[in-house]
Amino acid sequence: MSTTGRTETPRERYRQQVREEVKEKAWQQIAGSGASALSLNAIAKQMGMSGPALYRYFANRDELITELIRDAYRSLADAFIAVGDAAAGRPALSALAQVLRRWALEDPHRYFLVYGTPVPGYHAPQDTTAITAEIMSVLLDACTAAAPGARAAAFEEHLAGHREWAGGHPDAPPSALRLALGFWSRLHGVLSLELAGHFTGMGLDPARLYAAEVDGLTR
Amino acid sequence: MSTTGRTETPRERYRQQVREEVKEKAWQQIAGSGASALSLNAIAKQMGMSGPALYRYFANRDELITELIRDAYRSLADAFIAVGDAAAGRPALSALAQVLRRWALEDPHRYFLVYGTPVPGYHAPQDTTAITAEIMSVLLDACTAAAPGARAAAFEEHLAGHREWAGGHPDAPPSALRLALGFWSRLHGVLSLELAGHFTGMGLDPARLYAAEVDGLTR
DNA sequence: CATTCTAGTTATAGCTTCTAACGAACACGA
DNA sequence: TCGTGTTCGTTAGAAGCTATAACTAGAATG
């Protein structure tokens, strides 16, 4: 199953194990106080070893965070793909919406790590753009199934000529592309406002707004 | 015009002046590397004075950031109010959308300070919720003017019973409330994704998506 | 003029990331 | 089985940060 290095030396095993434990502690710390408060030193102490030891496993703080971001992306993509597979490649938009919301609420700090304020020293490796493409692919499958008839609005014409992001779906109609973008931006709109607390004290139920936005997508 | 302390001693004058200069340098620093990299020490050095001097003006780093957030909120509210006034209390939704987008693109770091990942030690003072109410008030004015006929969807019924956030507009129909929330969440959806760079490399023009979302609101 | 209040200073504690130099344990070929 | 080399973890230390404490020079005030 492993793509590379079938012959795993015990050392590489151990090394991978430690890296995994570091990331685990990192997630715990992030869940507590957010990514900006992540401290390599604290993680090391928590693991019973002394500060600089971690630099054998991660070149620096940014590399650890980059790894965490990639894993977070991966977990969302996996959840999307699972829904797609379960629906034989034609998932309902509402199902994807539910997965997205669950994923976001499950760990808001993880959501912010991916979709919140960009961290200063970080630049997305090609990795993550590839993962985004996986997510978009599942979403586009759902959208081509659910797309309404062509309405040929100005924006859809624009999309017909700018579909690099829909690489694997050369035959998806512009209305499907538009639907996918609407899905993505509207739902992230609700989620980011909700998770940042901008609805608290307003009295309304964000889940209902979310549901209403999902509803309004196809109608 | 000043609500308190008409007799400003020269000392208070100076004090206010220094606070203002600190905030100015802080914004410069934030524009450069984001709020997480904001350093009181660096600001002090930049102003030609030594580290701890700034603690005469701000209790700690969080207090400075809180102040910056409040000012950022204020600037958005002022922009909204200006549009409302210019339109004699009935601004077009498209005009508000344009102001919001302009404000966001003008200084993305300022946008993230308010609508991005919440900063750990910060809790919104009552101030900001009051400012949010001002913003919502202008938005609701626009929405009652532009609201379509009642469609009585489930979400609008929910809103009819949960309108604390629309305090100053007791007579706004649920369809207007729903329109305001759609405006707010959809446009923030596009903006937060765009400013965080999630559309780069996708080939599409976020401004057009934004325009399309504005368009779709009332139709 | 004397007192008080305040803005700034230096020193210091405690935290962080990260580099450098060293010791000890392990893996592996002869 | 015995070197030899790689790797892990250590301590020490530089440079940066927030924040407090103690002190001094100057302005405002009675």
Q: B34 with B111, same domain? A: no
Say whether B102 sits in a helix, a strand or coil. Answer: helix
Q: B51 with B70, same domain? A: no
Q: B159 with B67, same domain? A: yes
pLDDT in tens, A67-98: 999 999 999 999 999 999 999 999 999 999 99
Q: Is B208 on the interface with A (CB under 8 A)?
A: yes
Q: How many domains is chain A partitioned into structurally?
A: 2
Q: A51 with A73, same domain? A: no
- Alpha carbon distance B178, B171 (integer Å): 14
Residue among B100, B80, B97, B102 nearest B89 (CA): B80
- CA–C1' nearest nucleotide, residue A56: D8
Q: B16 with B109, same domain? A: no
Domain boundary among A18, A37, A58: A58
- CA–C1' nearest nucleotide, residue A39: C16
- Residue A81, burial from CB neighbour count under 10 angstroms (0-12, 13-18, 19+): middle
Residues in chain B: 219
Q: A43 with A73, same domain? A: no
Best residue in B185, B200, B205 to probe A by mutation, most A CBs within 10 Å?
B185
> How confident is the model at residue A7, as a pLDDT?
63
Q: What angle do CA A16, A21, A26 make, to 5 degrees?
A: 125
What does DSSP assign to residue A90?
A: -
Q: B105 with B199, same domain? A: yes
- Alpha carbon distance B41, B145 (integer Å): 50
Q: What residues contact residue B108 under an 8 Å CB cut-off, 6+ apart?
A: B195
Tokens of A68: 């965490």
Question: Which residue bears the tokens 């779906």?
Answer: A169
Q: A190 with A149, same domain? A: yes
Tokens of A88: 């034989």
Question: Which residue bears the tokens 């959840």?
Answer: A79
Domain boundary among A58, A77, A107: A58
Domain boundary among B58, B73, B88: B58
Residue among A63, A82, A59, A61 nearest A71 (CA): A63
| Interval A20-34 mean pLDDT | 96
Q: What angle do CA A42, A46, A52 make, to 5 degrees?
A: 55
Report the greatest alpha carbon distance in chain A. 62
Band of residue A153 on the pLDDT scale cut at 50, 70, 90:
confident
**Cβ–Cβ under 8 Å, residues B174 and B151:** no
**Cβ–Cβ under 8 Å, residues B157 and B184:** no
- Residue B25, burial from CB neighbour count under 10 angstroms (0-12, 13-18, 19+): middle
DSSP letters for A38-70: --HHHHHHHTTS-GGGGGGT-SSHHHHHHHHHH
For B188, which of A35, A192, A209 is closest by C-beta distance? A192
Distance B5 CA to C3 C1' (A): 25
Q: B98 with B110, same domain? A: yes
Question: Is the pLDDT score of B51 beyond 80?
Answer: yes
**Cβ–Cβ under 8 Å, residues B147 and B173:** yes
Q: Is A193 on the interface with B (CB under 8 A)?
A: yes
Question: Is the pLDDT score of B112 beyond 90?
Answer: yes
Contact (CB<8Å) B36/A119: yes
- Alpha carbon distance B162, B28 (integer Å): 41
> How confident is the model at residue A45, as a pLDDT?
97
- Alpha carbon distance B80, B99 (integer Å): 7
Residues 131-190 of A with CB under 8 A from B: 132, 153-155, 158-159, 162-165, 178, 181-182, 184-190
Contact (CB<8Å) A204/B165: yes
* Percentage of residues of chain A with pLDDT beyond 70: 96
A17-26, B9-18, B199-208: least confidently modelled range: B9-18
pLDDT in tens, B155-189: 999 999 999 999 889 999 999 999 999 999 999 99
> How confident is the model at residue B136, as a pLDDT?
97
Say whether B162 sits in a helix, a strand or coil. Answer: coil
Q: B79 with B185, same domain? A: yes
**Cβ–Cβ under 8 Å, residues A108 and A50:** no
Q: Is A197 on the interface with B (CB under 8 A)?
A: yes
Residues 50-109 of B with CB under 8 A from A: none
* Domain CATH code at residue A113: 1.10.357.10
For B190, which of A37, A129, A185 is closest by C-beta distance? A185
B29 lies in which domain range? Answer: 1-58
**Cβ–Cβ under 8 Å, residues B11 and B22:** no
Question: Which residue bears the tokens 């987008």?
Answer: B101
Band of residue B92 on the pLDDT scale cut at 50, 70, 90:
very high
- Alpha carbon distance A131, A70 (integer Å): 9
Question: Is the pLDDT score of B151 beyond 80?
Answer: no
Q: B173 with B76, same domain? A: yes
Q: What residues contact residue A188 under an 8 Å CB cut-off, 6+ apart?
A: A115, B189, B192, B193
Band of residue A10 on the pLDDT scale cut at 50, 70, 90:
confident
Q: A85 with A144, same domain? A: yes
Amino acid identity at B1:
M
> How confident is the model at residue A6, as a pLDDT?
47
